[in-house]
């Protein structure tokens, strides 16, 4: 029996290794870049999908939303940041966002200042989510859609997984 295993081991060492065809490295699927206005025109096409999006991000007291003056006056997309976003986003981009959304302010003694909304143009990758199904109402099985964000005001939600670009977008002057 020992002879059998010895012969088997020696024959395995002598045999040439089998040639295997190198497998091509698997490429992650291409993430589509969607125009913000297109997203709002066809939200069902992108519901629960990972997309790349360029939009104006507004953040302030009770607001964290995407907007675009040509197609979205109502700020219908609430924005949240996934817990994985800090590890995906480049440190320089995160620092630039800090400078835009948390600018240094002069503090006045005894005055509580609520910072005004700040705005930046972002290129982000994340998951778009349409209206939530809501709760059944009445006996006909109708449902009331519940929104996202502050006071469920926003019809859609975008969960940012990675910020690829940031650029300050100051508010237009009211002159």
Would you state the pLDDT for residue 149? Answer: 73
pLDDT at residue 161, as a whole number: 96
> Span 29-103+116-168: which CATH code?
2.40.50
pLDDT of residue 64: 85
Residues 36 and 52: their CA atoms lie apart, in Å, by 10
For the chain, domain boundaries: 29-103+116-168
Our measurement of the distance from residue 162's CA atom to the centroid of its chain's CA atoms, rounded to an integer in Å, reads 6
* 151 C-beta neighbours (distance < 10 Å), count: 7
pLDDT at 28: 64
Q: What is the 3-state secondary structure (H, E, C) of the chain?
A: CHHHHHHHHHHHHHCCCCCCCCCCCCCCCCCCEEEHHHHHHCHHHHCCEEEEEEEEEEEECCEEEEEECCCEEEEEEEEEECCCHHHHCCHHHHHHHHHHHCCCCCCCCCCCCCCCCEEEEEEEEEEEECCEEEEEECCCCEEEEECECHHHCECEEEEEEEEEEEEECCCCCCC
Q: What is the pLDDT along the chain (175 residues), one digit of tens a residue?
A: 666 555 555 555 555 555 555 555 555 679 999 999 999 889 889 999 999 999 999 888 788 889 888 887 666 798 999 999 999 999 999 999 998 888 777 777 877 666 667 889 999 999 999 876 665 555 555 556 667 777 677 888 999 999 999 998 877 766 5
Quote the longest CA-to-CA distance of the chain: 97
Residues found in the chain:
175
Integer CA distances (angstroms), 83 to 86, 126, 154, 159, in order: 7, 12, 21, 10
């Amino acid at each position: 029996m020992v002879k059998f295993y010895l012969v088997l081991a020696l024959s395995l060492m002598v045999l040439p290794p089998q040639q295997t065809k190198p497998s091509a490295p698997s490429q992650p699927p291409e993430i589509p870049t969607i125009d913000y206005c297109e997203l709002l025109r066809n939200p069902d096409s992108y519901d629960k999908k990972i997309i790349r999006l360029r939009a104006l991000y507004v953040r302030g007291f009770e607001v964290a939303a995407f907007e675009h003056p040509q197609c979205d006056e109502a700020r219908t997309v609430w924005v949240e940041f996934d817990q994985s976003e800090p590890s995906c986003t480049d440190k320089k981009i995160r620092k630039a966002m800090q400078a835009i959304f948390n600018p240094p302010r002069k503090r006045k003694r005894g005055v509580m200042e609520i910072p005004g909304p700040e705005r930046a143009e972002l290129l982000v990758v994340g998951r778009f989510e349409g209206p939530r199904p809501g709760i059944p109402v009445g006996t006909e099985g109708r449902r009331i859609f519940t929104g996202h964000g502050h006071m469920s005001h926003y019809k859609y939600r975008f969960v940012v997984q990675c910020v690829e670009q940031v650029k300050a977008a100051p508010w237009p002057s009211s002159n």
